Amino acid sequence: MIMATHTLFLLPGDGIGPEVMGEVRRVIQWFQDKGVASFELDEGLVGGAAYDAHGESISDADMAKAMAADAIIFGAVGGPKWDTVPYDQRPEAGLLRLRKDLALYANLRPAIVYPALADASSLKKELVEGLDILILRELTGGVYFGEPKEITELGNGQKRAVDTQVYESYEIDRISRVAFELARTRSNAVCSMEKRNVMKSGVLWNEIVTQTHKDGYEDVKLSHMLADAGAMQLVRTPKQFDVILTDNLFGDILSDVAAMLTGSLGMLPSASLGAVDEKTGLRKALYEPVHGSAPDIAGQGLANPIAMIASFAMCLRYSLGMGEWAGKIETAIASTLDRGLRTGDIMQDGMQQVGTVEMGDAILAELEALA
């Protein structure tokens, strides 16, 4: 049997990005050495690193490579060094362009509490132990992209600011389908959140989600909740949820709330998925850790590579059809934490503090034991 070769485009970015990406490269190499999968890797510049090299946050040449790849593995961008660059060239603009040009409309934000870290949460241990929820955020519509978006001078020292929350039926329908399909691979329950009591977009959201559910997804349990009540329930009894489906604005807020239930942002991966390509059957996809570029610890070998490695596991699951191996990476991470190894951001009394490479070594050793 000839093994398919998967093309991955790596964009390490700024700050700790290159360090944590280095650990993903080692995991990819392990897969190659084991003969489990074949990967063709290319690497580009994004964010401040791209700005320094050619005066823009991502080049057209690297965008073309991103378009052609089976998946993009993204590190982190930004840092005080680039605070004064033109707004359109700021490091984050590179990520926004990738999302926009690749039409990555579905943002998957898992909130998983590893057993060894249940004490790190700000909630009581029994509320979060074993937590595994997935927030699905619509990423290319809503109030962040709606027009008009402007501040106008009214005279007499007064101004008016306008942002526009806009959703069309097709945008709600396609994100709903992703939610129901994801739920089928988990505990088969979707809770859709909006503000239909005060927003017309919420009324339409509720209507279309309900309609799409009847189009072949009746096997999935669907419930609805107002987004503010959802925020309250997330910190009250988070384990009641499986997949939470919501729009761009509420998704931004609720996914950060859910992230902190886990105790460390440095532990969480994410995926942004686009439409299915009719030729290949694959979705355009970008995988990235939720954490930022942490310039204060960059280059010191201190960064936690777990979110970056877990993002690669998501890539195996959602882009490459290698769900079993994704599970093995996640098990290897959990086992490493069970052994008491911690990077500085998740350090606890009585545990052994390690750096980026040592954490990578330990995860690879656990993966080897599972192979």
Specify burial of residue 159 (Cβ count, 10 A radius: 0-12, 13-18, 19+): exposed
* Domain-terminating residue out of 242, 261, 280: 261
Q: Are residues 324 and 343 in the same domain?
A: yes
Based on the fold, state whether residues 249 and 140 are members of the same structural domain: yes
pLDDT at res. 211: 98
**256 classed as catalytic:** yes
Instruction: Show the tokens assigned to 3.
Output: 């093994």
Q: What digits encode the pLDDT tens for the residues 169-189?
A: 999 999 999 999 999 999 999
For residue 51, what is the domain's CATH number? 3.40.718.10
**Is 215 a catalytic site residue?**
no
pLDDT at 279: 79
Mean pLDDT of the chain: 95
Query: What is the maximum span of the chain, computed from C-alpha positions, in angstroms?
Result: 76
The type of residue at 145 is F
The neighbouring-strand residues paired with 125 are none
CA-CA distance, 357 to 355, in Å (whole number)? Answer: 6
If asked whether residues 287 and 222 sit together in one domain, one would say no
Q: What is the pLDDT of residue 213?
A: 98
Decide: 41 and 32 in contact? Cβ < 8 Å.
no
Please indicate, yes or no, whether residues 102 and 150 belong to a single structural domain of this protein: no
For the stretch 136-155, pLDDT in tens is 999 999 998 899 999 999 99
pLDDT of residue 262: 86
pLDDT given at position 2: 59
- Per-residue CA distances from 97 to 67, 70, 108 (Å): 12, 18, 18
Question: Containing domain of residue 306, as a range?
Answer: 1-110+265-371
What percent of the chain clears pLDDT 70, i.e. is strictly above it? 99
State mean pLDDT over 38-62: 97
Looking at the structure, do residues 55 and 171 belong to the same domain, yes or no? Answer: no
Q: Which of 42, 163, 173, 228 is catalytic?
A: 228
Q: Which one from 42, 101, 163, 256 is the annotated catalytic residue?
A: 256
- pTM for the predicted model, two decimal places: 0.91
Average pLDDT over residues 277-288: 87
Residue 156, pLDDT > 70, answer yes
Q: Does 270 lie in the same domain as 256?
A: no
Last residue in a domain, options 197, 226, 261: 261
Instruction: Inform me whether the pLDDT recorded for 5 exceeds 70.
Output: yes
Choosing from 195, 247, 284, 345, the catalytic residue is 195
| Total count of domains within the chain | 2
CA-based torsion, 60, 63, 67, 68: positive or negative: positive
Q: Is a pLDDT exceeding 90 seen at residue 119?
A: no
Distance CA 319, CA 66 (A): 14
Indicate whether 278 pLDDT > 60: yes
pLDDT band at 283 (very low <50, low <70, confident <90, very high): confident
Two structure tokens written together for 56: 């823009």
User: How high is the pLDDT of residue 1?
Assistant: 52
CA-closest candidate to residue 92, choices 44, 138, 50? 50
Q: Are residues 238 and 279 in the same domain?
A: no
Active site residue 70: no
Nearest to 353 by CA among 312, 310, 301: 301
Closest CA to 136 of 13, 267, 233, 230: 230
Output the pLDDT for position 121: 87
In 106-241, alpha helices (H): 125-128, 169-184, 200-213, 227-236
pLDDT > 60? residue 93: yes
Residue 155, classed as helix, strand or coil, is strand
**Residues 177 and 84 both lie in one domain:** no
Q: How confident is the model at residue 343 (pLDDT cuts 50, 70, 90)?
A: very high
- The question of whether 195 is a catalytic residue gets the answer yes
Distances in whole angstroms, Cα of residue 167 to Cα of each of 197, 273, 353? 16, 18, 47
Catalytic residue among 252, 284, 318, 328: 252
Task: Give the mean model confidence (pLDDT) for residues 202-230.
Answer: 98
Residue 354, pLDDT score: 97
Does one domain contain both 257 and 303? no
How confident is residue 367, by pLDDT bands cut at 50, 70 and 90? very high
Catalytic residue among 101, 144, 163, 221: 144
Active site (annotated) includes residue 345: no
Order the strands of the 5-13 sheet from edge to edge: 38-43, 5-13, 71-76, 283-289, 269-276, 106-112, 132-138, 243-246, 189-194, 221-226
What is the tens place of the pLDDT at every residue in 233-275?
999 999 999 999 999 999 999 998 998 898 777 789 999 999 8
